[in-house]
A and B are shown apart, each in its own frame.
With several copies, the nearest count.
Chain A
Amino acid sequence: MSEAGATKKLLYVNRKAPYGTIYAWESLEVVLIGAAFEQDVSLLFMDDGVYQLVKGMDTKGIGMKNFSPTYSALGDYDVNKIYVDEDALAERGLALDDLQHLVWEDENEDWAEKDSIHLVGRDEIADLLEQQDVIFNF
């Protein structure tokens, strides 16, 4: 599994809300740096992690940097497999439309714009975890 040069499947698991703790932001910094390594990268947002992708954040009142625009840059870094737990959304009263619309351009299809976010359920999450070579937890 650790063959030099082989591409590995890397998963970043995000389960915490933004701003209350810094994990969401510092996790995103890892993803951006990690993109340069040209591995097979996925992101999973579950539990309160789904709140990281909510649109319309305005942090002026708490005096902290709003890092949420950075998510929309992920597509440019070829990070386009973003899995969101649909049950986590539902129990929080959220729909896909409450999240940022994250897209990427597929060079194999004449740069067609495609959605990066994929809603997944319990079984798909279980599979996703099992398929990885490396999981980063924050």
Chain B
Amino acid sequence: MLHIVNKSPFATTALASCLRVAKPGSTILLIEDGVYGALDGTRNSDAMREALADRTVCVLGADAAARGVADKLLDGIDVVDYDGFVDLVAADDGVQSWL
């Protein structure tokens, strides 16, 4: 299934709650302030690297670019545009938004 996270891991516990229950094989899409969870060299990077071991992690490129952090993404994170966002929703058979 597809998990959508739109909050910074430094501001709320949404990403941590998501990572706790997102199964191996599931996809996690980071949008809006959620893109800060995709960055390398942060307090959160280890948790995300662990997630990348058995889950697919995507970031909405437009949101990363808006925030000036598109060049700081962890290796292994896929960048998608809104078309790709639509494809992810269509491909998976369930969507959980971690508001």
Whether A and B touch (Cβ < 8 Å) is answered with yes
Question: Which residues in A have some Cβ–Cβ distance to B below 8 Å?
Answer: 1, 13, 15-21, 46-48, 51, 54-62, 64, 66, 68, 91-93, 122, 125-126, 129-130, 132-133, 135, 137-138
**Total count of chain B residues near the partner, CB < 8 A:** 41
* Nearest B-chain residue to A126, judged by Cβ: B21
**B1-18 CB contact bits vs A (8 Å, 1 = yes)?**
100001110110100010
* Contact residues of B between 46 and 66, Cβ < 8 Å to A: 61-63, 65-66
Option from A19, A46, A51, A66 in Cβ contact (under 8 Å) with B32: A19
Residues of B within 8 A of A61 (CB): 61-63, 65-66, 81
* Residue contact A132 to B33, C-beta cutoff 8 Å: no
CA distance A66 to B65 in the complex (A): 11
Chain A nearest Cβ from B52, distance in angstroms: 17
Residues of B within 8 A of A133 (CB): 94
Question: Which residues in B have some Cβ–Cβ distance to A below 8 Å?
Answer: 1, 6-8, 10-11, 13, 17, 20-23, 26, 32-33, 36, 39-43, 45, 61-63, 65-72, 81, 93-99
* Nearest A-chain residue to B7, judged by Cβ: A20
A92 in contact with B36 given A61-B61, A137-B99 (CB within 8 Å)? yes
* Residue contact A56 to B68, C-beta cutoff 8 Å: yes
* Residue contact B67 to A57, C-beta cutoff 8 Å: yes
* Residue contact A51 to B42, C-beta cutoff 8 Å: no
CA distance A17 to B23 in the complex (A): 26
A15 in contact with B67 given A20-B33, A62-B62 (CB within 8 Å)? no
Residues of A within 8 A of B11 (CB): 16-17, 47-48
* Nearest A-chain residue to B62, judged by Cβ: A61
Residues of B within 8 A of A18 (CB): 66-67
* Nearest B-chain residue to A63, judged by Cβ: B62
Option from A1, A17, A129 in Cβ contact (under 8 Å) with B67: A17
Chain A nearest Cβ from B51, distance in angstroms: 13
* Residue contact A54 to B36, C-beta cutoff 8 Å: no
Chain A nearest Cβ from B47, distance in angstroms: 13
* Residue contact A58 to B65, C-beta cutoff 8 Å: yes
Residues of B within 8 A of A132 (CB): 94
